[in-house]
């Protein structure tokens, strides 16, 4: 969806000025499957607020206030590093309906005002951290989840959303694709890389137990590979590496045979799914969020190169990855069954060609 130029001019110097992101926010907040009235006059706590996925939730909710000042939505962003987050949200710091709170989730959360919704998205999702900081990767999903679920009880929240991951399914070679929410493969808890997937499993179980014992209205989202503007080009995941290559006018260097498959979902589609599950998902149940289409890594590289023929870039195959801190995923195929989410009215709308073009272009602003 393209923004009205006059509306874009009105927003200039008041909030985000990246036209790609603004178009995404207009697309998200105009979606009819979300009952936006549920957020009117509400306070939403979002952990990991400066991260790639949760930052789009912050933007979307605050964007509603810009479209209609009577929404009066208040967003509290919980972050590990207040300095970095302040830079990330520099266009919003001046507003009374948004504030940042520094907390690494290892300690109880001290917020005195009434909270209506909690979105727990704090987690180190980049494979780079799985080897360099596995403890810091797993703790927010376990200890942090306990603190937030206790806060949910105290505030009698209307909704609680836990960001899990498609990695909870483990190795699924013997499971037919796509993977539905009841399919589980093998996960080795003695491997350092399992810090992410195993802690997400524990976080999910905490949500289920608190829903059962304390009636916390906790819902679970399992995002698969989500991409788009705002993702750090040093993220460590393969799609970010490829986009970085295109942005810097570099050939794409393949560090594998590229036959592994992933399902890539654009950030605006995913954000709509997250909010729909928060409001209308079943309590204590997980929902896959992602693209229903598998794409080989080599195919993604070729698609990105083909989007910019004028750059005359090539896809080159190298022997191994030279990043010693990167822990390779053992998962060769990954594609979600999104039937459960589609039953809530959600649709996958942004093709991989359109989405990655938007992602690349967003770094020009």
The pLDDT tens digits for 229-251 are 999 888 888 999 999 999 999 99
Confidence of residue 11 (pLDDT cuts 50, 70, 90): very low
Query: Can you give the pLDDT at residue 204?
Result: 98
Judged by DSSP in three states, 277 sits in: helix
Sheet strands (E) in 180-336: 218-223, 225-227, 252-254, 261-262, 264-266, 286-289, 295-296, 315-317
* C-alpha to C-alpha distance for 80 and 122, rounded to whole angstroms: 9
Is residue 364 pLDDT above 50, yes or no? yes
* C-alpha to C-alpha distance for 5 and 304, rounded to whole angstroms: 29
Is residue 1 pLDDT above 90, yes or no? no
Q: What is the pLDDT of residues 47-92, one digit of tens each?
A: 999 999 999 999 999 999 989 999 999 999 999 999 999 999 988 8
Structural domains in the chain?
Answer: 5-230+265-292+334-351 (3.40.50.720)
| Higher pLDDT among residues 87 and 319, named by residue | 87
* C-alpha to C-alpha distance for 157 and 109, rounded to whole angstroms: 15
Name the percent of the chain lying above pLDDT 90: 73
Name the percent of the chain lying above pLDDT 70: 92
Is residue 252 pLDDT above 60, yes or no? yes
Q: What is the mean pLDDT of residues 155-178?
A: 89
CB atoms within 10 A of CB 314: 12
CA distances from 66 to 16, 52, 70, 74, 339 (A): 11, 21, 9, 12, 33
CA atoms within 13 A on the CB side of 35: 8
Which residues carry out catalysis? 196
Residue 229 contacts residue 24 (beta carbons within 8 Å): yes
Is residue 9 pLDDT above 50, yes or no? no
* C-alpha to C-alpha distance for 195 and 191, rounded to whole angstroms: 8
* C-alpha to C-alpha distance for 242 and 232, rounded to whole angstroms: 12
pTM: 0.91
Is residue 205 pLDDT above 70, yes or no? yes
Element (H, E) at 130: helix 127-132
Query: Can you give the pLDDT at residue 264?
Result: 97
* C-alpha to C-alpha distance for 70 and 65, rounded to whole angstroms: 7
* C-alpha to C-alpha distance for 59 and 261, rounded to whole angstroms: 30
Provide the token pair at 208.
């289920």
Query: Can you give the pLDDT at residue 325?
Result: 55
* C-alpha to C-alpha distance for 218 and 8, rounded to whole angstroms: 37
| Cα 99 off chain centre by | 20
Residue 101 contacts residue 78 (beta carbons within 8 Å): yes
Is residue 19 pLDDT above 70, yes or no? yes
């Amino acid at each position: 969806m393209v923004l009205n130029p006059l509306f874009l001019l009105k927003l200039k110097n008041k909030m985000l000025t990246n036209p790609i992101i603004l178009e995404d926010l207009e697309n998200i907040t105009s979606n009819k499957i979300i009952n936006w009235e549920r957020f009117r006059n509400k306070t939403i706590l979002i952990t990991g607020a400066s991260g790639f996925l949760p930052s789009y939730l912050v933007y979307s909710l605050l964007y509603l206030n810009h479209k209609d000042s009577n929404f009066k939505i208040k967003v509290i962003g919980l972050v590990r590093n207040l300095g970095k987050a302040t830079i990330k949200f520099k266009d919003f710091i001046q507003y009374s309906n948004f504030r940042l709170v520094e907390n690494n989730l290892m300690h109880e959360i001290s917020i005195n005002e009434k909270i209506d919704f909690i979105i727990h998205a704090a987690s180190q999702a980049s494979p780079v951290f799985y080897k360099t900081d596995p403890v810091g990767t797993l703790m927010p999903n376990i200890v942090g989840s306990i603190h937030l679920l206790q806060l949910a009880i105290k505030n009698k929240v209307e909704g609680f959303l836990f960001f899990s991951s498609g990695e909870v399914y483990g190795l699924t070679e013997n499971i037919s694709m796509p993977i539905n929410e009841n399919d589980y493969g093998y996960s080795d808890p003695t491997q350092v890389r399992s810090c992410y997937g195993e802690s997400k499993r524990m976080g999910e179980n905490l949500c289920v137990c608190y829903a059962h014992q304390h009636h916390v209205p906790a819902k679970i989202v399992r995002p698969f590979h989500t991409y788009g503007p705002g993702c750090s080009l040093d993220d460590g995941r393969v799609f970010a590496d490829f986009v970085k290559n295109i942005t810097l006018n570099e050939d794409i260097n393949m560090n594998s045979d590229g036959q592994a498959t992933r399902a890539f979902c654009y950030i605006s589609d995913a954000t709509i799914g997250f909010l729909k599950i928060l409001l209308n998902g079943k309590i204590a149940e997980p929902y896959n969020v992602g693209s229903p289409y598998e794409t080989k890594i080599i195919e993604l590289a070729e698609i990105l190169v083909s989007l910019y023929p004028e750059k005359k870039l090539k896809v080159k195959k190298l022997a191994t990855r030279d990043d010693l801190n990167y822990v390779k995923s053992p998962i060769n195929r990954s594609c979600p069954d999104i039937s459960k989410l589609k039953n809530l009215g959600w649709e996958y709308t942004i093709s991989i060609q359109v989405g990655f073009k938007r992602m690349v272009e967003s770094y020009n602003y």
